[in-house]
Amino acid sequence: MPVVVVDRVADAVPLARALVAGGLPAIELTLRTPVALDAMRAIAAEVPGILLGAGTVTTPAQAEAAVDAGARFLVSPGATPGLLAAMTATGVPFLPGTATVSEVLAVLEAGVTEMKFFPAEAAGGAPWLSSVASPVPAARFCPTGGITAASAPTYLALPNVGCVGGSWITPKDAVAAGDWDRVEQLAAQAARLGA
């Protein structure tokens, strides 16, 4: 899943179109820039067939604002009780973030079995996920953070990993240059990883 940072609203629609054309119809647009919500509204209005999600949701207010702007799922780097309650209240699917076994157990206690593992590489990577598969079999993960096209297959081979995410599919320089062909090629390469 592409983890996307948009600095200019004008980039949002061509970027989203390139990802869909490359075979990645689900995108996580991060709420890390002042234009993120406007970018989300533009994509929701102009790119049919996309499954648009909001990433970097760190406050209850952001969860609500993102859904109002057209997000159909939410992703958070963490999972405080307030954030879990707010994301649940939106009614859309969401991936809370976890990086320790206690956090995984807290998310499971809240009734959520699918979660983000972040920051994946820094927090233990594929060996960590492999180690928790047996003691905590109910949890399924979308690892993100430091993952590349080269390391993604190792993650995807794990029984408790449903997808991986990362920004390698939309490199800063390609987005800054409006190089949508390159983004489409990287998306196509990433789409083949899951085949």
Where do contacts with ligand 3PG occur on this chain (CB under 6 A)? Answer: 3, 30, 55-56, 77, 118, 144-147, 165-168
Q: Give, as one character, the DSSP assignment of residue 99.
A: -
Task: Please answer whether residues 164 and 125 qualify as being in contact, where contact means their C-beta atoms are separated by less than 8 angstroms.
Answer: no
The one-letter amino acid at 45: A
Q: How far is the CB of 120 from ligand 3PG (least distance, A)?
A: 8
Question: In whole angstroms, how far apart are CA 68 and each of 62, 105, 156?
Answer: 10, 30, 32
Residue with tokens 């954030």, as numbered in its chain:
83
CA 181 remoteness from chain centre: 22
Q: Looking at beta carbons only, is 56 or 90 nearer to ligand 3PG?
A: 56
In the complex, the smallest distance separating the C-beta of residue 30 from ligand 3PG, rounded to whole angstroms, is: 6
The nearer residue to ligand 3PG, 134 or 150, going by C-beta atoms, is 150
Closest CB to ligand 3PG among residues 46, 172: 172
Which amino acid would we find at residue 173?
Answer: D
Whether 116 sits among the annotated catalytic residues: the reply is: yes
How far apart are alpha carbons 117 and 35 in whole angstroms?
26
| Closest distance to ligand 3PG from the beta carbon of 55 (Å) | 6
- Least Å distance, CB 141 to ligand 3PG, is 12
Sign of CA dihedral 149, 124, 143, 90: negative
Q: Which is nearer to ligand 3PG, 144 or 160 (CB)?
A: 144
Local structure of residue 161 (DSSP, 8 states): B
| DSSP helix/strand/coil, 31 | coil
Catalytic residue (choose from 64, 103, 116, 184): 116
28 is catalytic: yes
Instruction: Give the active site residues.
Output: 28, 116
